[in-house]
Structure 1
């Protein structure tokens, strides 16, 4: 009897799986990202592609394009809006022009740790911000981790607030980043990531700010001498789908993409954090001169950014800002 019951359960389960896969059409999905194939972004994209294939019984195929071959984040976002590209992963900071609420993640010194960021991004506040994209023509699935951002430059060590004076610093095409570094005394220059290495090499700009992993995978150590550990911004990536494409998918196909994105997210965060520690050590081995800002200097920088935070609150909406601050306060009180 037990054997018959088990066999019947297996047959029912197989029928459900078969029915689910029957709701999946054979599709090729173009998925773009900015870093190279051997980066944390590239490795997570492969996990995503493999998981999509597994869950769809090979019917959904992710065709990955790394190294910004489909364009910058902004160019890919426009391609998704127009339906010319299906999916991408990129920085939340470059989405501010589409959904102003995304600027909340650019708040300087917002999170005290990566674990704190996980709780907020995967919780109600993170979902509320992501949901703002749908009315603009994009679907957000999950947040991946780019990591805490740190400064590099080719001119001098940045050990104090004054050391930023006059440094031509590439930042993303994002007003919060521009205003923040201008308030700190740098000459902030907006520029697409795909143009950055050449700009550093030719001294068009003196420096840039990115997580350790990106600094290493992009070989910025070849054109930058100094690295300052500031952890000034926690930088998330977001996996996006064109709404035009999303609307053509069955519920099963949507579930497959979302489940695979979550699996890849968990892999990517763990991979990124392990790599960050190794990346910093390797950057030192490759000759970069590393220093860490003192707590006093961090507080001096924070004091210069109060107006920026007020502007962010106004831009994203005071209610959303207050909800985020309340969530952080509750989270920290339970630690």
Structure 2
């Protein structure tokens, strides 16, 4: 009995020592700043790869004093709009998002939703990284959001389960999932399709069940989200170039020491260059992979689609006010 008590006391003493030592040691390893970064897509997508690069640079340069925890696949929300609202509420610290939902927070972002705005990626990058892109990014600050750098999602293409789409008339009657974005919805109404806004987390099931006939997204989304499992046809319409952003809650950014603010901006820009490289690489490789997986790849008449969607400019240009001149400036370079 005495031996049992001695053993119990020894075990209790060892546990107490471990607890005390653990409590003392913990702050030595704890980060001074911890942030949550969320996005809506797969951890195989370039959004995530860019976010990993951002995390690596920040944590290395701060010797672990800043920790960035990554949450892909809508773990912090039900879609991009939800994640952006999380920035404003302070429940999410950093987000990688397309600009599609941004026009709901700042109207001037609709500039990037007009069809066939950019002739190629080089023009898009020059615009985003230049005065126009920096001006529009800065407008988010009054909404409590700090833009760090421009990523990209690539040119958007159409998929559906019904038929090949090579001309605007082929899209007539198709029920298509779109973002909750009135300009992009108008693009599909212009070709007499039926645009249906839906959070991204619901899309795969909706396609699987036939609630919608198709959707539109860049190739890396189509591939990494396994859209090929529920869709047969891909039409390389390239109707919209989809910029993306890595953004942060402004209140959280403002609380960082100035040297860390500068580091976040530098790391974001470095990660943006890497993310764009990954998007371009995946686009080139994954079209061929989609063919192997059984999708039929169609190359539509873009001039016909461009002509059919001109009405979108007439419908929404006036909403930009004096900043419609920015739209004209971009078009003049196209």
Fold match, TM over 0.5?
yes
Corresponding residue of 1:9: none
Ranges in structure 1 where 5+ consecutive residues have no aligned partner = 1-24
Distance 1:159 1:30 in 2: 43
Corresponding residue of 2:314: 310
Conserved? CA contact 1:151–1:230, under 8 Å: yes
Corresponding residue of 1:136: 143
Residues 169-318 of structure 1: matches in 2 within 5 Å?
169-294=176-301, 298-317=302-321
Aligned residues: 303
Runs of 4+ residues deviating >4 angstroms: none
Q: Aligned in 2, Cα 1:55/1:328: closer, same or farther, shift over 3 Å?
A: farther
Distance 1:328 1:177 in 2: 18
Residues 1-335 of structure 1: matches in 2 within 5 Å?
26-71=32-77, 72-294=79-301, 298-317=302-321, 319-327=322-330, 329=332, 331=333
Deviation of 1:328 after TM superposition, in Å, equals 5.2
Deviation of 1:327 after TM superposition, in Å, equals 4.9
> Could you say what the CA RMSD is over the residues aligned between the two structures, in angstroms?
1.3
Corresponding residue of 1:8: none
Distance 2:331 2:40 in 1: 31
Distance 2:174 2:217 in 1: 16
Ranges in structure 2 where 5+ consecutive residues have no aligned partner = 1-30
Deviation of 1:115 after TM superposition, in Å, equals 1.1
Deviation of 1:253 after TM superposition, in Å, equals 1.4
Conserved? CA contact 1:92–1:237, under 8 Å: yes
Distance 2:213 2:275 in 1: 30
Distance 1:316 1:29 in 2: 35
Conserved? CA contact 2:117–2:330, under 8 Å: no
Deviation of 1:222 after TM superposition, in Å, equals 0.4
Deviation of 1:161 after TM superposition, in Å, equals 1.2
SS across alignment from 2:53: helix
TM-score, with structure 1 as normaliser: 0.88
Corresponding residue of 1:4: none
Corresponding residue of 2:17: none
SS across alignment from 1:142: strand
- Higher Cα radius of gyration: 2
TM-score, with structure 2 as normaliser: 0.88
SS across alignment from 2:247: strand
Distance 1:255 1:205 in 2: 45
Conserved? CA contact 1:216–1:283, under 8 Å: yes
Corresponding residue of 1:14: none
